[in-house]
Amino acid sequence: MEVTREDVLRCAELARLQLTEAEIPALQRDMSRILDHAQSLLELDLEGVEPTLHGLDLPLPRREDEARATFTQAEALAQAPEAAQGHFVVPKVL
C-alpha cells in the first residue's frame, strides 16, 4: 500500500501535527510498510462477520444521575499554560 506524501500531510493536518520536512519521508515509508503488512487481512472472507468493538461483552452499568463534587475552577485551571479571569487563554479564534 503506497502512502503518498500528500496522504501524510493530509493526516498530519487532521491530527494537528506540524511535521518538519525532515520527518516526512520516514513516516511515509513506515506507514506504507505497516499498511502493506496489513494487506494480509484482504485474504479473509469477512462476509457476515460482525465487528467486535469491546474487550468484554457485558451490559453497560447504569447509575443514578446525581450531582457530586468535582474539580473546583481553581483546580481545573491550576496547570493551564495561560489562564485569566477563570478561563483558559487561547489565541484569538474570530
Partner 1 sequence: MAWATPNSMREGLAAGDLSAEGLVQAGLARIQRLDGRLEAVLSTDAPRSLEQARIADARLAGGERGPVLGLPVVLKDNLHWKGTPCTSGSRILAGYRAPYDATVVARLLQAGAVPLAKANMDEFAMGSSGEFSAFGPARNPWDTARVPGGSSSGSAVSVAAGYAPFALGSDTGGSVRLPASFCNLTALRPTYGVLSRYGVTAMASSLDQVGPIARTAEDVAALLGVMAGADPLDATSVDLPRQEALWPLRAATLKGLRVGLPREYFGEGLEAGVREAIEGALQRFKDAGAELVEVDLPHTRYAIDAYYLVCTSEVSSNLSRFDGLRYGLSERVEGQTLAELMALTRNAGFGAEAKRRILLGTFCLSKGHYDAFYLKALKVRTLIRQDFLKAFEQVDVLATPVSPTVAFPLGAKLDDPLAMHLADVYAVGAPLAGLPALAFPAGFSAGLPVGMQLMGPALSDVRLLELVQAFQERTDYHLRTPEL
Compute the half-sphere exposure of residue 62: CA atoms within 13 Å on the CB side of its CA. Answer: 2
**Contact with partner 1 (CB under 8 A) among 5, 25, 33, 73:** 33
- How far apart are alpha carbons 82 and 80 in whole angstroms? 5
- How far apart are alpha carbons 15 and 75 in whole angstroms? 28
Work out whether 15 is an interface residue with partner 1 (CB under 8 A). Answer: yes
CB under 8 Å to 16, separation ≥6 — which residues? Answer: none
Work out whether 65 is an interface residue with partner 1 (CB under 8 A). Answer: no
**Contact with partner 1 (CB under 8 A) among 60, 73, 84, 85:** 60
Contact residues: partner 1, CB under 8 A: 3, 7-8, 10-20, 23, 26-27, 30-31, 33-35, 37-38, 40-42, 44, 46, 49-56, 58, 60-61, 63, 71, 75-76, 78-82, 88, 90-91, 93
